[in-house]
Structure 1
């Protein structure tokens, strides 16, 4: 499965030679200022520790995707087919959807831009910079992008 590897993260060419680009997102709850932060914010260097999300200096839940916040970037060329497989590991059993901003959803299932299925598939169109986020209740504000 391609995950921003050299097969899809490449110099785009014209005329386009579209590829199938597959990604896996594993979604989990995490906390800001968790154990990985040790003495953050009192010791500033600790705030840069791996898996330390200091955010605004208060402890609160956030969603992470592939143990990252912000989540992973999808960088492909115009016309590539993007397939994202989502593994929901939210420990509290919460449902999950992902909303894709700015991406045309032609020839996809209805409301595919706001999906809760185990995977979604769409064509990278139009070209440009777009973003994605969770689209369930309070999760909208908990995924730091």
Structure 2
């Protein structure tokens, strides 16, 4: 792989599965932008991605896990562990069409309130977050520590 490949990684070019993600995790760990769109990922993938965001200074700034219907709320809660880590520098998170509910909104809002969270853009489009989810996100935007600039 070239240095350019390390800046951007798209799992769709390889094996679209959790096994593919597991195999390519060393590459993901040094990438700044990662696309994992429509790869049949579940909460196990979220745990892997949280580990990428934690511990050593993370290079990851953009993560798109959209159109993975098996992620669900449990997966997002695992991702939030990574977002809370002081080493995480993720700025853009896309989770459209991932079978999320207001529970995910509560977890993401809680993580985004932490002083260490760098999240500037969040896409939760095409999920069933309902009024309760919107309320969690609205409360987040009112928080003076919130760095979020764009919410979809």
Of the two, which has the highest radius of gyration? 1
Structure number with higher strand proportion? 1
TM-score between the two structures when normalised by the length of structure 2:
0.29
If asked which structure has higher relative contact order (CA below 8 Å, sep 6+), I would say: 1
